Amino acid sequence: MFNKRFVKPQRQVLHQASPYVGHFNDLAYVSNIDVLVTQKSLPNMSAKLTFDQPRRCFKVEGQLSAAEQAVIQQQVQHLSVIAANAQIANQIRRLKAGQRIQLQGDIVHVHSVKSGQAFWVGVGSAYAAQCVLLRITHIQKIAA
């Protein structure tokens, strides 16, 4: 299960791109697609998970019980994604909230070629350990 958001970074570590570009460039997708993934449907909670755009990580709005906090730590992952090719990029753009998917890829570290500045996700977030930059090499929808 997942949710997806296109984001606009506050600073330009890598070039910005719209959700659709005229031709494929894998780095165009570093800075603008975030995916929130859960291993299974989360139980009903009084708090809400939302995207924290400046930190490129999710945040919790409201209060969580200790049990709910444990579920989030075990089952939720925030991915800022790089598509490995144009086909993967098109699949990512077409995903809908609540779909079941299987992802394969590599956690990566990206630096600007010009400045050497790192592209970090999750900095300053209480959930930074659950926020990664992922280069997706395979994506598949799973039947419900």
4-54 pLDDT tens trace: 665 554 444 444 444 444 445 445 445 567 888 888 888 888 888 888 888
Q: In percent, how much of the chain has pLDDT > 70?
A: 76
Using DSSP's 3-state secondary structure scheme, residue 130 falls into: helix
Tokens 């077409």 -> residue: 94
pLDDT of residue 6: 56
pLDDT of residue 97: 81
pLDDT band at 131 (very low <50, low <70, confident <90, very high): very high
pTM, full prediction: 0.74
Distance of CA 137 to the CA centre of its chain: 15
Question: Can you tell me the mean pLDDT for 108-120?
Answer: 77
Backbone angles phi, psi at 92, to 5 degrees: -60, -45
The count of structural domains within the chain is: 1
Q: Which domain holds residue 80?
A: 2-141
pLDDT band at 130 (very low <50, low <70, confident <90, very high): very high
User: Is residue 133 packed enough to be buried (19+ CB in 10 Å), middle (13-18) or exposed (0-12)?
Assistant: buried
CA distance 69 to 67: 5
CA distance 108 to 110: 6
Tokens 């330009």 -> residue: 12
In degrees, to the nearest 5, what angle opens at C-alpha 55 toward C-alphas 46 and 34? 80
Helices of type H across 8-109: 66-75, 86-94
Q: Are 95 and 101 in contact (CB under 8 A)?
A: yes
pLDDT of residue 118: 78
